[in-house]
Every structure is written in structure tokens, then in C-alpha cells.
């Protein structure tokens, strides 16, 4: 889509972690550890560091005590520590706000925080403490035992610019995208990856900066049904927002859930391997409803209208936004 040279300023390996803001740290811990099945690595007065069963790193999901819900920041892992200096130089050249946050996060080495061109706080780091692998520690598995934090989905008014930033500046591949009809032929959403699955981050058109959801990968399709049973049994049936169903884009089985703070996450399984960041993406027309739902009930209106606030560089939180994804709510949504 863009003919300029790909800079690829660092070897970004994968999505590293997501930080959720929570107004009640103990309630959030009970929900994510005892019901969903994440594992606590460490905690302090303000943060609880969690990981999934496949993780060998100190944390991939963080709960942080805050006055309001939303996303604090997003973290990506780079291959080597010296690449952080290359990134700092490039971000300074682009006049993006940056700072080193080495002592901010437990278990994490030198970290470069940037407010990217779209207003999101992104941490880049190479070093993170190793922890025991829990895949075969079956006696420790609870809930639906998410295997990894798979992706984050964010909203910005110019998703074409988001696609350009990640593919041209940061060297991400694009597995799939949606685009409008000619003559505009504009990208409205893209599924972008560095690890060998469909996406580490998806960039959607909407009022932003805002976050739509975080995706946890599960080990098998039956885990989606088990998650719904567990949520209902624990009194959270009303927190099941959309699904179970299967996406057209990614081919994954899914269910979307709101946590006790209202933060949205997706439980997700059955996508496919990618691996080649230079491969051509699968293209979907913006008006094709199959891209969202191959089968299953249509999305509810609030799935389009509601998103999560994100934190600003000075530590404030943006207001919760209510974007209409893809500019207008399609006629096939459920009320």
C-alpha cells in the first residue's frame, strides 16, 4: 500500500504484555486468577503481575490499581537491548515523547516508553526475568488456563496511518485487512504481526486513542464453552458480551467478556500460522459481514459503541470513548 522503504528500526519479537487499570485490585485478581486461570508471579501495593501457562517470562498481563478502568500501556519485546537506543533516536527524530522507565516494572529490564503517533503508550524492552514454565504443571491450572496473551485491538481515527506505521516503520507483517470500495480504497482495519500468528496488534478505525480489547489464546475449542459455563456459574453471565462464534478474519472461535471493571477481553482459539511478514494479506471488503462473524449471532450494538480509555504520557486517562467502528454501525448488529 505504501512504496516507501521499510525502516524496521528494531527486531520486535512479539507482544510482550498489556496493563489493565482496575479500581479494585483484589476483585480483579480473584476474577483473572481464580476464575479465568492466569498465574500470579509477583505483586506490590499497586500492581499484580500475571502470566499464562505457556509464558516463560515474568509477566504478560498486569493489573494496576487506578481511579478508573482502561488500558495503562502496551509492551513489545525486542530482540536486543541495544536496539532500544536505535528506537529512541528514531522516535526523537519524529518528535515523539519518550522516557526510560527502568525501575517502573518488576522483573523487566531497561525499558523505553513512547507515546506513539496515535496517542498510545508503548513500552519496548529486551530483558525480562525468566520464570518456571507451567504447561505441564497441570495441578496448578485453573479456570480455562489461557496459553498466552495473543493480541491487543486498538482504535484510531486513521487506521490507514496505523497500518503504515506498523508495517513501514516497525516491520510488522499484515495477515488480513479490511478496505473500502474504490475509488477511495482505504484500509479501515488491519491485523498486524511479528510472532507467527494472525496478529499481535489490530488497528481499527474509530474514535481514539482507545482500546477495544485484549485477546487471550486458549488451548482448544471446548475451552470457549467451559469459559462461558464458568462465568455463568460464578454469576458473570451478564458479562459475556458477544459469542461464542467464529470470526471470518483469523478463523478463530471466540467469546468477548467484560471484567468487573468493564474492561473488555476476548477468549480466542483456532487461528492459523503466518510467519512471513512480507506475504500479501488477505483482503476483505468493508461491507462484508462475514469478516466479523463467519457464524454465530451478530455483534451487539455496545461492541461497536464502547471501548476502553487509554492512559496519556503524563499519566492521565483519556475518557472512555464510544466510537462507531468503521464510522457507522452496520445494519446486521443486534440491539
Boundary-marking domain end, from 140, 171, 193: 140
pLDDT of residue 4: 44
pLDDT at 56 over 80: yes
Query: What would the pLDDT profile of 19-32 be if each residue is shown by its tens digit?
Result: 999 999 999 999 99
Asked if 114 and 163 sit in the same domain, the reply is no
Q: Please tell me whether residues 114 and 221 are part of one structural domain.
A: no
Average pLDDT, the chain: 92
Which tens digit of pLDDT belongs to each residue from 257-274?
A: 999 999 999 999 999 999
**What integer is the mean pLDDT of 173-189?**
90
28 plus 125 within the same structural domain: yes
Q: Percentage of the chain with pLDDT > 70?
A: 92
Global pTM exceeds 0.95: no
Question: pLDDT at position 184, please?
Answer: 79
**Domain of 106: which CATH number?**
3.10.180.10
The answer to whether residue 166 is domain-embedded is: yes
pLDDT at position 319, please? Answer: 60
Q: Which set of grid coordinates corresponds to residue 303?
A: 461492541
One domain for residues 44 and 176? no
- Of 22, 33, 126, 30, nearest to 64 (Cα)? 22
- In this structure, is residue 327 part of a structural domain? no
Domain identity same for 54 and 202: no
Indicate if 77 and 206 belong to the same structural domain: no
Q: Do 168 and 269 fall into the same domain? A: yes
Q: CA–CA distance from 170 to each of 63, 174, 215, 223, 314 (Å)?
A: 27, 12, 21, 34, 24
End-to-end CA distance of the chain: 36
Identify whether the C-beta of residue 64 lies closer than 8 Å to the C-beta of residue 70. no
Q: Does residue 297 share a domain with residue 154?
A: yes
- Structural domain tally of the chain? 2
Does residue 129 register a pLDDT over 80?
yes
pLDDT digits (tens, 9 = 90+) for 201-227: 999 999 989 999 999 999 999 999 999
Tens of pLDDT, residue by residue over 62-117, are 999 999 999 999 999 999 999 999 999 999 999 999 999 877 789 999 999 999 99
- The whole-number average pLDDT for the span 41-67 is 97
Statement to judge: residues 112 and 225 lie in one domain: no
Same domain for 194 and 84: no
Residue 251: give the domain boundaries: 148-305
pLDDT at 321 over 80: no
Amino acid at each position: 500500500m505504501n512504496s516507501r522503504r521499510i525502516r524496521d528500526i528494531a527486531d520486535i519479537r512479539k507482544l510482550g504484555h498489556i496493563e489493565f487499570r482496575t479500581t479494585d485490585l483484589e476483585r480483579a485478581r480473584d476474577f483473572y486468577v481464580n476464575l479465568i486461570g492466569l498465574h500470579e508471579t509477583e505483586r506490590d501495593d499497586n500492581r499484580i503481575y500475571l502470566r499464562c501457562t505457556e509464558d516463560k517470562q515474568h509477566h504478560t498481563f498486569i493489573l494496576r490499581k487506578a481511579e478508573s478502568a482502561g488500558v495503562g500501556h502496551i509492551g513489545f519485546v525486542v530482540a536486543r537491548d541495544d536496539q532500544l537506543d536505535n528506537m529512541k533516536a528514531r522516535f526523537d527524530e519524529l518528535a515523539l515523547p519518550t522516557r526510560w522507565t527502568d525501575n517502573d516494572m518488576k522483573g523487566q529490564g531497561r525499558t523505553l516508553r513512547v507515546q506513539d503517533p496515535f496517542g498510545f503508550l508503548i513500552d519496548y524492552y529486551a530483558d525480562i526475568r525468566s520464570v518456571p514454565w507451567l504447561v505441564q504443571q497441570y495441578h496448578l491450572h485453573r479456570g480455562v488456563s489461557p496459553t498466552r496473551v495473543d493480541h491487543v485491538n486498538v482504535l484510531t481515527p486513521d487506521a490507514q496511518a496505523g497500518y503504515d506505521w506498523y508495517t513501514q516503520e516497525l516491520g510488522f507483517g499484515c495477515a488480513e485487512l479490511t478496505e473500502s470500495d474504490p475509488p477511495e480504497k482505504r484500509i479501515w482495519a488491519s491485523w498486524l504481526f511479528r510472532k507467527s500468528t494472525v496478529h499481535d496488534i489490530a488497528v481499527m478505525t474509530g474514535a481514539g486513542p482507545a482500546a477495544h480489547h485484549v485477546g487471550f489464546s486458549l488451548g482448544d475449542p471446548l475451552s470457549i464453552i467451559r469459559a462461558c459455563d464458568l462465568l455463568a456459574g460464578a454469576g458473570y453471565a451478564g458479562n459475556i458480551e458477544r459469542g461464542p462464534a467464529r470470526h471470518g478474519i483469523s478463523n478463530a472461535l471466540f467469546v468477548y467478556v467484560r471484567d468487573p471493571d468493564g474492561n473488555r477481553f476476548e477468549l480466542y482459539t483456532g487461528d492459523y500460522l503466518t510467519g512471513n511478514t512480507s506475504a500479501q494479506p488477505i483482503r476483505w471488503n468493508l461491507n462484508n459481514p462475514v469478516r466479523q462473524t463467519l457464524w454465530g449471532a451478530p455483534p451487539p450494538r455496545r461492541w461497536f459503541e464502547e471501548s476502553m480509555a487509554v492512559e496519556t504520557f503524563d499519566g492521565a486517562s483519556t475518557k472512555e470513548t464510544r466510537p462507531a467502528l468503521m464510522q457507522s454501525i452496520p445494519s446486521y448488529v443486534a440491539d
